[in-house]
Amino acid sequence: MSNPAALHVDRPYRLKEWFDLDDAREAAKAAALRRRGLDDQYEEQVRTAAEAEATYRRAVAKKVTQHRADGKGAGESELLAKGDLWELSLDRDIQAGMLRAVQHRIDAAEGERANLRQLMDWSSRLRVDGREA
């Protein structure tokens, strides 16, 4: 990074210096890498959540069939099956929540990228002395 002070920020996000072209390229590359990593996490979590849902549904169907074979009614069999499989239900719900969490991280990364673009636009309008042109 050619301007090491460029990324030093005071809360709430006031830069000490502006971005030069090298800083902007480095920051844009880092943001793109982060987004690609989040996309990979999202794809993996979609698979994990779908597998948890499928496992739960197969187990419920099997348990309902067992309870029906024992002479229980349809509604009672479904309730008993879901009660028997609470751990699978919990795992399914956790995996769905993790999928939403990754999506929130993607949304946050997109917001950060938009802020970075605005900062780069602002920096490109500055003169060498740091004043807006």
pLDDT, residue 133, reads 60
Report the candidate in 41, 6, 53 with the shortest Cα–Cα distance to residue 25. 6
Domain ranges in the chain are 18-124
**Structure letter (DSSP) for residue 130:** S
* Phi-psi map region of 130: left, alpha, beta (phi>0 left; psi -120 to 50 alpha): left
Of residues 30 and 19, which shows the higher confidence score?
30
Q: pLDDT of 30-39, one tens digit each?
A: 999 999 999 9
pLDDT, residue 52, reads 98
pLDDT, residue 45, reads 97
Report the candidate in 81, 80, 92 with the shortest Cα–Cα distance to residue 54. 92
pLDDT, residue 10, reads 42
| Average pLDDT for 3-24 | 56
Q: Predicted confidence band at 123 (pLDDT cuts at 50, 70, 90)?
A: confident
pLDDT, residue 49, reads 98
pLDDT, residue 118, reads 87
User: Cα–Cα distance between 5 and 18 in angstroms, integer?
Assistant: 8
Report the candidate in 15, 20, 16, 18 with the shortest Cα–Cα distance to residue 1. 20
pLDDT, residue 17, reads 60
Mean pLDDT (the chain) is 85
Q: pLDDT of 102-121, one tens digit each?
A: 999 999 999 999 988 888 88
Q: Quick one: tokens of 119?
A: 């900062």
User: Cα–Cα distance between 65 and 80 in angstroms, integer?
Assistant: 11
> Structure pTM?
0.73
Q: Are 93 and 99 in contact (CB under 8 A)?
A: no
Residues making up the chain, counted from first to last: 133
pLDDT at 4 over 50: no
